[in-house]
Amino acid sequence: MLDLQHVTKVFLKGTPNAHTALDDFSLHLDDGEFVTVIGSNGAGKSTLFNAVAGSFLCDSGRILLDGRDVTYQKEHRRARQIGRIFQDPMKGTAPDLTVGENLALAYSKATRRILSPARRKKDTAFFKERLARLDMGLEDRMRTKVGQLSGGQRQAVTLLMSTLVTPKLLLLDEHTAALDPVTAQKVLEITREIVETNRITTMMITHNIEQALHTGTRTIMLSAGRIVLDLSGEARAQMTLPALLELYREKAGKTLDNDRMLLQET
């Protein structure tokens, strides 16, 4: 479904500060896989997402989405098939528009059509039904400006906007990291339900190792722009934090020194 083949990205190439963010990186995701991505700061996680989303052109390698080569496709073109949610709840929505207006805008862009009055009435009922599934009372706040919502509510709306029309790929870039623990858990539960119901191929960056090992179907760990651990099935189910840290030391040749990951509450 998603294939990255020998992708390399070097920032500040040809200068003393050159940094290889992705190093001959290869990854294959099957249709419907939900992969969590972990790694220390600078490991290449965000660069990986930016490469897939088309935020820049890579120096070498190929990227294929659903069998189609998108290596040189512009970011706005890829966005028609790729949903992406960021850590900042302020991103991804128009704060001065209402919940209903944000959903209608996202829906019309995804379906590439102008909504007639009759169509709008039908779609409003559809939006309310989908909002009700979030169990956050947002179906009764269709006329509320998104900027007036809490961070968790806003992130839930952004998630819904990205999946009203099922994308081929969903990128979750630490989308619960800025939320309080209770709200973060709620948004994660909503995420799981939407992804599983619609069988959306998904990658999720997280600094919470426990969360990474118990969310989705597979966990990859990056270091210096490469995959050093790729866990699924029974090996992933039985993995503990101490065992993972030891495996990381063996594969990466160094210890994990990211306090945010090691001290993350589970």
Q: pLDDT per residue over 234-263, tens digit each?
A: 999 999 989 999 999 998 888 887 655 655
Q: Residue 260: what pLDDT?
A: 56
Max mean pLDDT range (114-118, 121-125, 248-252): 248-252
Q: Residue 133: what pLDDT?
A: 93
Q: Residue 48: what pLDDT?
A: 98
Q: Is the pLDDT of residue 108 over 90?
A: no
- Give the pair of three-digit tokens for residue 9: 């990205």
Q: Which long-range contacts (CB under 8 A, 24 or more apart) does 100-104 make?
A: 100/124, 100/127, 100/142, 100/143, 102/146, 102/157, 102/161, 103/127, 103/130, 103/131, 103/157, 103/160, 103/161, 103/164
Q: Residue 218: what pLDDT?
A: 98
From CA 43, how far away is CA 65, in angstroms rounded? 23
As to burial, measured by CB atoms within 10 angstroms (0-12 exposed, 13-18 middle, 19+ buried), residue 149 is buried
Helix (H) or strand (E) holding 196: helix 181-198
Q: Residue 120: what pLDDT?
A: 72
Q: pLDDT per residue over 137-173, tens digit each?
A: 999 999 999 999 999 999 999 999 999 999 999 999 9
Q: pLDDT per residue over 27-69, tens digit each?
A: 999 999 999 999 999 999 999 999 999 999 999 999 999 999 9
User: pTM of the prediction?
Assistant: 0.93
Q: Is the pLDDT of residue 115 over 70?
A: no
Query: Position of tokens 């039985």?
Result: 238
